[in-house]
């Protein structure tokens, strides 16, 4: 079986075949660095990371680029509120983003590209679009893409053409808008007072780029005019990715992206987790609750990337407990590592090659650990092999093994403590100590370790 991915362009699963057989060229829309990313945002990066790991696992080389939006409406507005320069403001959140992706075991792309490093490339594309009469300058000096001139506009988002024509009379300057506002969009925004000292003086005049042109410039500069895969969240389909196609294909005349892949939302109380709804959590909240950030990765992998998942803390706590159990089972396999089980490996590949079926891959991991016919050393080799894709951190696991009987006593102690029976709780602590272990009460519960 070969790799099959769901392509948003065709709305079907397609066989994967990269343009250059040796190397896959992949681009991911990264964060806008104006705040801490919330865990809903991280679904997009964990999805892209899983996809990349599956490609690597299948033997492809992958050239992966992820951008950092360090100039747009939001970064300008919020840096001014804090009285900081755009650079100093965005660099802080960039560093925080790097820390977060490390704790989520997300492999680094070959390059993180900052939008402000690609202004010249953006100007070049806009000039080409002006030459081809696909763009025009408005009274205030801003430059807009003329969507009526681009015959494929709306292909990715499946916009209904009639509605599009009716609504396409106006223009929109803000970076983000919805399908009810299909209009000519800004490629270049002429400077106005709200921009303060954020501007570039270019052949296009004094101003700054629109958000959408940034990704066209960064992706094509680093990966060429034709990409294999472009990823993002479903909320990027319109307008962002639709506009990227218009700009890129409009300027080059080539087919910009072969496979568009999008992950679904994380919901909170049936509503998309988003800053605007104020229903979001960051990884700091996860860590503050004593939950391993990898439990979030694990929880996401339990769902398919194209299904919406409803976030509740109980579910994340549950996945934290399940992950700990997996770690324990792995540690109990002992020190020896032998051969990968080809039977399990084949199935694992089969599931992931079918549009990244991570829920089935995880079920297989549990099955493997329970399978009496496989030796512990072979199991260990197979788990490590699976973890090249899952990224759950088995390789670096150094947790000490606490015997089951000690854990049982600790659990008993926790229960009596919750009922405020401190006498019994102290007795149990002494018993645990007498067996060579100690128990400490932390903000997130008990911690048991060897004395
Ligand atoms: Zn983008």
Q: CA angle, corner 272, sides to 268 and 277, nearest 5?
A: 85
- For ligand 1, the distance from its centroid to the CA atom of residue 70, given in whole angstroms, is 12
Q: Using one digit for the tens of pLDDT, what is the confidence trace for 150-197?
A: 999 999 998 875 555 555 568 999 998 888 888 999 999 999 999 999
Q: Residue 242 contacts by C-beta under 8 Å, 6 or more apart in sequence?
A: 153, 154, 155, 156, 157, 159
Tokens representing residue 181 in the block: 């506002």
How many Å apart are CA 104 and CA 93, to the nearest integer?
17
How many Å apart are CA 88 and CA 39, to the nearest integer?
24
- For ligand 1, the distance from its centroid to the CA atom of residue 257, given in whole angstroms, is 13
> Which tops the pLDDT comparison, 63 or 174?
63
Residue 268: name the closest of 310, 219, 214 by CA.
310
- For ligand 1, the distance from its centroid to the CA atom of residue 419, given in whole angstroms, is 52
pLDDT of 266 strictly over 60: yes
- For ligand 1, the distance from its centroid to the CA atom of residue 233, given in whole angstroms, is 10
- For ligand 1, the distance from its centroid to the CA atom of residue 166, given in whole angstroms, is 27
- For ligand 1, the distance from its centroid to the CA atom of residue 275, given in whole angstroms, is 18
CA dihedral of residues 301, 304, 305, 306 (deg, nearest 10): -170
- For ligand 1, the distance from its centroid to the CA atom of residue 81, given in whole angstroms, is 25
Tokens representing residue 258 in the block: 């072969």
The model carries a pTM of 0.88
Q: Using one digit for the tens of pLDDT, what is the confidence trace for 400-449?
A: 667 778 888 999 999 999 899 999 999 999 999 998 888 888 777 788 88
Pair 312, 70: CB distance under 8 Å:
no
Q: Using one digit for the tens of pLDDT, what is the confidence trace for 102-149?
A: 999 999 999 999 999 999 999 999 999 999 999 999 999 999 999 999
- For ligand 1, the distance from its centroid to the CA atom of residue 196, given in whole angstroms, is 24
- For ligand 1, the distance from its centroid to the CA atom of residue 28, given in whole angstroms, is 7
Average pLDDT score over residue span 201-209: 97
Query: Which percentage of the chain shows pLDDT scores above 90?
Result: 82
- For ligand 1, the distance from its centroid to the CA atom of residue 297, given in whole angstroms, is 23
- For ligand 1, the distance from its centroid to the CA atom of residue 333, given in whole angstroms, is 44
């Amino acid at each position: 079986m070969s790799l099959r991915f769901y392509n948003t362009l065709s709305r079907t699963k397609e066989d994967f075949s990269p343009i250059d057989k040796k190397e896959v060229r992949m681009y991911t829309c990264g964060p806008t660095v104006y705040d801490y990313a919330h865990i809903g945002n991280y679904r997009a990066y964990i999805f892209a990371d899983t996809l990349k790991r599956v490609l690597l696992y299948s033997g492809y080389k992958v050239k992966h680029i992820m951008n950092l939006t360090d100039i747009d409406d939001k970064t300008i507005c919020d840096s001014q509120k804090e009285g900081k320069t755009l650079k100093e403001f965005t660099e802080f959140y960039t560093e925080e983003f790097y820390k977060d992706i490390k704790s989520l075991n997300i492999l680094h792309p070959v390059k993180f590209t900052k939008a402000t490093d690609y202004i010249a490339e953006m100007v070049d594309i806009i000039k080409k679009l002006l030459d081809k009469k696909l763009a025009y300058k408005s009274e205030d000096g801003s430059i807009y893409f003329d969507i009526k001139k681009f015959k494929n506009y709306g292909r990715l988002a499946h916009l209904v053409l009639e509605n599009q024509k009716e609504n396409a009379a106006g223009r929109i300057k803000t970076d983000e808008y919805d399908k009810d506002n299909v209009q000519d969009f800004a490629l270049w925004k002429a400077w106005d007072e709200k921009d303060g000292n954020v501007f570039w003086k270019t052949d296009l005049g004094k101003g700054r780029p629109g958000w959408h042109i940034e990704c066209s410039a960064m992706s094509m500069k680093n990966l060429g005019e034709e990409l294999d895969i472009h990823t993002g969240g479903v909320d990027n389909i319109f307008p962002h990715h639709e506009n990227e196609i218009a700009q890129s294909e409009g300027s080059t005349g080539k087919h910009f992206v072969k496979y568009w892949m999008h992950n679904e939302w994380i919901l909170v109380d049936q509503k998309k987790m988003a800053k605007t709804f104020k229903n979001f959590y960051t990884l700091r909240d996860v860590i503050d609750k004593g939950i391993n950030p990898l439990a979030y990765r694990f929880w996401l992998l339990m769902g398919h990337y194209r299904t919406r998942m409803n976030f509740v803390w109980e579910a994340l706590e549950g996945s934290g407990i399940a992950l700990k159990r997996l770690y324990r089972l792995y540690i109990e396999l002992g020190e020896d590592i032998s051969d990968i089980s080809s039977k399990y490996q084949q199935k694992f590949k089969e599931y992931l090659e079918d549009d990244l079926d991570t829920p089935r891959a995880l079920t297989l991991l549990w099955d493997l650990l329970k399978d009496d016919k496989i030796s512990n050393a072979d199991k260990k080799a197979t788990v490590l092999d699976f973890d090249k894709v899952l990224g759950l951190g088995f390789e670096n696991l150094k947790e000490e093994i606490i015997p089951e009987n000690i854990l049982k006593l600790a659990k008993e102690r926790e229960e009596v403590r919750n009922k405020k029976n401190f006498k019994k709780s102290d007795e149990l602590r002494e018993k645990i100590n007498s067996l060579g272990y100690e128990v400490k009460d932390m903000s997130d519960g008990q911690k048991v370790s060897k004395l």
